[in-house]
Amino acid sequence: MQVIQKFLKNPLRNFNYIITSDHSSDSIFFDPFDINQTIPLLKDHKPRYLLNTHHHPDHIRHNSEFLALSGTEPLKLKDDEEFYLSPNEMIKAVYTPGHVHDHICYFLYENKKLMGIITGDTVFNAGVGNCKNGGDPDQLFETIRDKFHPIEDKVPIYPSHDYLLSNLKFANTIEPDNKEILAWIERRSQMDLDNEFLNTNLGDEHNINPFFRVFAGVYDQAEMGSNHREIFKLIRSKRDKW
Ligand SMILES: [Fe+2]
C-alpha cells in the first residue's frame, strides 16, 4: 500500500491523498479536490474507489467528476467498518466527530499493522480542525482523547490541509518553552512552503501539538482550567481568535 500526497496550491492549502494497492491496479481517492491534478500521478494504477472524510465543499469538490470516470465507485464505510483493498491491505473507518458531526478518519493497515491515518480535518500537523462550521469542541476533545491520544506509536498522519507552520507558531504562544516546537518552526521556516512538506507522526504530535499536550499535564491549571476538557476548549477558542 502506497500513499500519494498532492498539495493543491489553493488558498486553503488542501492536500489530496491516493492510496494504491501493492497487489492490484486498484486505488482509493480521498476527498478529491481536483482530479486533473491527481489522476496524472497514477502510473500502474487506475482510479477506482472514492472515500470522503466529511462533506465540506473543499472535500467533495470533484466527487462527481471522479465518479464520472469509467470503473470508479463510491465506498461508504460506517464506524468500525473495514474495507480490504487486497487480502493484506485494509482501510478501517473510524468515527471522529468534532470538526463536524459526521467526520470519518481512515486508518490504514498492512498485514494488520497500522501504517498511517487519513485524518481529514480532525488532526492536522501540530493542530486540530476548527469547530466553526457544524462542529462541537466537546466532541472534538473526546475524539482526540479517545481515538488519537492513546496511539503512542510513530504512525504517520495524513491531514487534508498544510497548516503546519501557522499551527507551530500558535503552539509556541501556548507553550513558549517547548524546544521541540521551536526546532520544528526553524526547520519548516527554511523550506519552500508551496513545494516542500513535512509529515508528522503521532509521536511528534504528542510533543508539539497543543491539543495533545493537554494530556501531558504541561499547562498551568490555575491559568488554563481545572481539567483536560476545559483546557482543550480554551486552547481551541484561543486558536479561533489567533
Ligand atoms: Fe472541513
Residue 18 has pLDDT above 90, yes or no: yes
Judging by beta carbons within 10 Å of its beta carbon (0-12, 13-18, 19+), is residue 154 exposed, middle or buried? exposed
Ligand 1 centroid, distance to 121 Cα (angstroms) = 5
Contact 156, 200 (CB under 8 A): yes
What is residue 190's three-state secondary structure?
Answer: coil
- Domains belonging to the chain, first-starting first, are 2-241 (3.60.15.10)
Residue 98 has pLDDT above 90, yes or no: yes
Closest CA to 170 of 141, 213, 203: 213
Ligand 1 centroid, distance to 87 Cα (angstroms) = 32
Bridge partners of 74, per DSSP, are 50
Q: Provide the pLDDT for residue 161.
A: 98
Residue 90 has pLDDT above 90, yes or no: yes
Ligand 1 centroid, distance to 99 Cα (angstroms) = 7
Q: Provide the pLDDT for residue 221.
A: 87
CA pair distance 158, 125, nearest whole angstrom: 8
Ligand 1 centroid, distance to 201 Cα (angstroms) = 21
Q: How many CA atoms lie within 13 A of 217 on its CB side?
A: 0
What is residue 89's three-state secondary structure?
Answer: strand
Query: Binning pLDDT at 50, 70 and 90, where does residue 197 land?
Result: very high
DSSP 226: S
Residue 222 has pLDDT above 90, yes or no: no
Mean pLDDT, residues 88-117: 97
Contact 38, 63 (CB under 8 A): no
Contact 71, 46 (CB under 8 A): yes
Ligand 1 centroid, distance to 145 Cα (angstroms) = 20
Q: Provide the pLDDT for residue 192.
A: 96
Contact 16, 35 (CB under 8 A): no
Average pLDDT, the chain: 97
Ligand 1 centroid, distance to 130 Cα (angstroms) = 8
Residue 220 has pLDDT above 90, yes or no: no
What is the value of pTM for the model shown? Answer: 0.96
CA pair distance 188, 204, nearest whole angstrom: 14
Ligand 1 centroid, distance to 54 Cα (angstroms) = 7
Q: Provide the pLDDT for residue 137.
A: 98
Ligand 1 centroid, distance to 62 Cα (angstroms) = 15
* Amino acid symbol at 101: H
Ligand 1 centroid, distance to 238 Cα (angstroms) = 19
Ligand 1 centroid, distance to 182 Cα (angstroms) = 28
Ligand 1 centroid, distance to 97 Cα (angstroms) = 11
All three cell numbers of 214:
493537554
Ligand 1 centroid, distance to 154 Cα (angstroms) = 25
Phi-psi category of residue 218: left, alpha or beta, with phi > 0 → left and psi -120 to 50 → alpha: alpha
The distance in angstroms from the start CA to the end CA of the chain is 38
Ligand 1 centroid, distance to 11 Cα (angstroms) = 14
Rounded alpha-carbon distances, angstroms, from residue 53 to 17, 103, 172, 210 = 11, 6, 29, 23
User: Who wins on pLDDT, 234 or 220?
Assistant: 234
Q: Provide the pLDDT for residue 152.
A: 78
Ligand 1 centroid, distance to 195 Cα (angstroms) = 23
Residue pLDDT, tens place only, 123-177: 999 999 999 999 999 999 999 999 999 997 899 999 999 999 999 999 999 999 9
Ligand 1 centroid, distance to 26 Cα (angstroms) = 27
Q: Provide the pLDDT for residue 153.
A: 84
Residue 39 has pLDDT above 90, yes or no: yes
Ligand 1 centroid, distance to 220 Cα (angstroms) = 31
Mean pLDDT, residues 93-107: 98
All three cell numbers of 46:
487506475
Count of all residues that appear for the chain in the document: 242
